Amino acid sequence: MKRNWWKWLVGVLVLMGVCWPAYNWSKANVKTLKNAGRTRMAPVIMIPGSSATQNRFDSLITELGKETPKKHSVLKLTVQTNGTIKYSGSIDRKDNEPFIVIGFANNKDGKANIDKQAVWLNTAFKALVKTYGFNHFYALGHSNGGLIWTLFLERYLKETPKVQIDRLMTIASPYNMESTSTTAKTSMFKELYRYRSGLPRSLTVYSIAGTENYSSDGTVPANSVNYGKYIYQNQVKHFTEITVTGANTAHSDLPQNKQIVALIRQYLLAENVPDSVRRQNQRQPKQ
């Protein structure tokens, strides 16, 4: 019996010795095959908030240019109300991570316009994919720009099925509009919540809130930003909310706030930031 027991043990160990390397190879090979079809180009597409133009992120792009090891070319689009698009700037042929800013001729506030802007974003997005041929991208939205992105991802990205979004960062996006309530739900939130099952399951989302007084950034209530968790949690792969306080946390200052610029570099662009910056970002309150 003892001899048979040892034979079984040796057999199991030999089997494990053969199967474990094979398992690791298979796992690595699946990952390689999964990434093999990804285009080199993965643009960072930015959407400004209401009343802002395609130039809204100029200061942010300048700040990123001071620190980032990569040089990003910039293309700007303005979608007209009839769906035509005006372009300025260009994408360098060697730039695999260009910045693309999409603005709207009708950039007014309000749920009705945000719904229209999501449709216009879909028009611009299809034109970009057709022209540049990328099949994955990163997204950034400030204020209502985050709501436009959310509606687009819920309802319209599926119209371009071969393209996927890797990461989304929203900055001071009022998912429950101007409401300060923790219970009352606006029609905008109800729409975003209703279609949340359409969100890409593989998506990683970072929602940034800025507070001058821990309740508001002077324009958007912190409670409204916090409503994003009801839309994204349990629908996407990862959802993280980060609150930034201190200097330059007024609503209009947030895109170029140095703490937020550092968060964009680390989490959206996935750059190798200095340890001091990484430690500062990790100290930010998260939910």
| 60 has pLDDT over 70 | yes
Residue-wise pLDDT tens digits, 19-51 = 554 445 444 443 433 455 899 999 999 999 999
Residue-wise pLDDT tens digits, 97-133 = 999 999 999 999 999 999 999 999 999 999 999 999 9
Say if CB 223 and CB 176 are below 8 A apart: yes
Say if CB 105 and CB 78 are below 8 A apart: yes
Which pLDDT does position 70 carry in this prediction?
A: 75
Mean pLDDT along residues 261-277: 81
* pLDDT band at residue 66 using 50, 70 and 90 as cut-offs: confident
φ, ψ dihedrals at 123, nearest 5°: -60, -45
| 61 has pLDDT over 50 | yes
> How far apart, in whole angstroms, are the C-alpha atoms of residue 64 and residue 256?
9
Determine the CATH number of domain 41-282: 3.40.50.1820
> How far apart, in whole angstroms, are the C-alpha atoms of residue 238 and residue 233?
8
> How far apart, in whole angstroms, are the C-alpha atoms of residue 257 and residue 2?
71
* pLDDT band at residue 273 using 50, 70 and 90 as cut-offs: low
* pLDDT band at residue 213 using 50, 70 and 90 as cut-offs: confident
The pTM for the full model equals 0.84
Listed by start position, the domains of the chain span: 41-282
